[in-house]
Chains A and B, each alone.
Chain A
């Protein structure tokens, strides 16, 4: 075989390979757009949720770490902090105007100020934050267990989900929100954190109040919370998938 024939042949093989690869790429991409196929793929989410919760049982605690394990760097991910005048002015004065509003299917709707939340029983935990992107960081969190709030507002039986409405928005102005079910809401490590590493919660990590839900990935940990809604269904909120990232295709069950 002479050199030009060989290079021709090699070129042909290479071309065929590339054609095959780009064909595969197109096929995978079009399958990704196919509603029916996508819902087939999505069936794994329910399977994961049922298997994992079956394996772990209720209210088992996520691993807690020591002060030495606290990460030097904790990436502030997600939307940039809110830049409204209300938010920045209130932040500068340590949140005199901010209230946590509790509404929806509860017997006693309420509004709590930050000092009121701080005066409730608290929980401190050094836990690992696992981002859906793949990184992990450890920090110390102090806050009020969500169960404390629930005892005070008393959700009614039709309430199935707890929805967290946030002050931060994306480029298009859409507000961040998240929802969890009562199993995770009752978890002892599910807290509304107002302190991180022994200091008031920093702006970039969700001041004045953020959710810590140690059974789930980072995007469930809503920051900049302004309102908690107890609902029977989250279908009528935004795109109806139960959260800002869920509306864009991420799993509602973020246990893996």
Chain B
């Protein structure tokens, strides 16, 4: 059984991709800025011998070696961190040129990119949050005490030790934890720690650097939070790949997500939330995830599908009947005549 449901509104889709672009540029231009002084400290100031983290170059008997050092633990990272091998020979630079914007050493350029996309990141995030709080969507992934209790069960399910998912609603407990912490902890903290480095803001808000333990602490935390963002993004992309990449991509590009019916019958009260069940981590290859139109689509089951979609439609207040698809989904624009609803849906599946 398959069913197409409308999952992501246009604001969510647009802000998602703009956010993805902004994050990549912020991280890469941030590395450019870091390269200007590739050491991190705790406290207000930066005594050179007090750095707890350094990515730098050292002269090792006439050979330039790059190293990564954290709390006295030093690793030779020549070629990637500290020293990059270029056509002109080894060049000292903390992050290599292919990880920075611009790709050559230019702090002023990095700052220009960073501040412009910091505005994009903040305003774009604000638009997403306001819109999706107003329409009630964000409540669906708000992490609660109940979710905390279910996290171990969900982890066991992910590792296939447990058969049944403890998920209720559109997001599972681990997703809720990840999304809630990104929206309500990580994002505000990375913006605040960035602002804490501003001498102008420091005139009126002494608490701003102080809440992080001083300006250099704020700088270090800004850097560390970056890697939490990077880690979240890799985890996010990994899950997208593992749970049906084409279907997931369609849903974040067009808004439409195809669900697979579960193997066991569900209680009636869950049917309205049918779309909110995640797919099991796919063992099959990607090509198997988009089957040819299934014969089950035609027949008595059709009524229940439509019934579910309609129930969902009342929930969110967004019209989702196939006749309205023509307005919502550009792929479907050729469907101007009122046709059999099921056929319209199948077209989207293709």
Contact = CB atoms under 8 A, between A and B. Distances in A.
Given A55-B201, A137-B45, 6 more contacts: A32-B102, A47-B119, A71-B47, A130-B215, A254-B199, A256-B198
20 contacts: A26-B103, A47-B119, A48-B115, A52-B198, A56-B205, A57-B204, A61-B203, A62-B199, A62-B202, A62-B203, A71-B47, A134-B33, A136-B45, A136-B46, A245-B108, A249-B112, A250-B107, A255-B198, A255-B199, A256-B115
Interface in A32-52: 32, 38, 40-45, 47-48, 52
B330 interface: no
Contacts of A38: 112
Interface stretch (A1-9, A194-202, A211-219): A211-219
B200 A255 contact: yes
Nearest to A249: B108
Interface string A236-256: 000000000100111100111
Contacts of A25: 97-98, 103
Contacts of B104: 29
Contacts of B45: 69, 71, 128, 135-138
B36 A132 contact: yes
A196 B342 CA distance: 80
A79 B120 CA distance: 35
A139 to B, nearest CB: 10
A56 B108 contact: no
A29 B32 CA distance: 13
A93 interface: no
A43 B215 contact: no
Contact of A56 (B113, B200, B209): B200
Interface of B: 28, 33-34, 36-37, 39, 44-48, 97-98, 101-104, 106-109, 111-113, 115-116, 118-119, 195, 197-206, 209, 215-216, 219
A133 B98 CA distance: 20
A217 B199 contact: yes
Contact of A29 (B103, B118, B200): B103
A47 B115 CA distance: 10
B37 A28 contact: no
A69 B195 CA distance: 22
Contact of B204 (A41, A42, A55, A254): A55
- Count chain B CB atoms within 10 A of each CB in A56, A137, A214, A254 and give the residue with the most: A56
User: Nearest 9 A-B pairs (CB), nearest first?
Assistant: A255-B200, A56-B204, A134-B37, A25-B103, A256-B198, A249-B108, A44-B115, A135-B46, A60-B204
Interface of A: 18, 21-22, 24-26, 28-29, 32, 38, 40-45, 47-48, 52-53, 55-57, 60-63, 65, 69, 71-73, 128, 130-138, 214-217, 245, 248-251, 254-256
Contacts of B219: 134
Nearest to B115: A44
B200 A52 contact: yes
Contacts, number: 133
A69 B44 contact: yes
Instruction: Say whether chain B's binding surface is mostly helix, strand, loop, or mixed.
Output: helix
Contacts of B198: 52, 255-256
- Count chain A CB atoms within 10 A of each CB in B28, B98, B205 and give the residue with the most: B98
A45 B33 CA distance: 16
B199 A32 contact: no
Contacts of A63: 202, 206, 209
Nearest to A17: B98
Contacts of A215: 199-200, 203
B10 to A, nearest CB: 24
Contacts of A131: 37
B285 to A, nearest CB: 14
A189 B215 CA distance: 19
Nearest to B34: A134
Contacts of B39: 135
Contacts of A32: 101-102, 106, 109
Contact of B101 (A28, A43, A249, A250): A28
Contacts of B37: 131, 133-135
A128 B215 contact: yes
B337 to A, nearest CB: 43
B343 to A, nearest CB: 39
A137 B195 CA distance: 18
B237 to A, nearest CB: 15
Contact of A136 (B28, B201, B215): B215
A55 B192 CA distance: 14
B183 to A, nearest CB: 22
B107 A214 contact: no
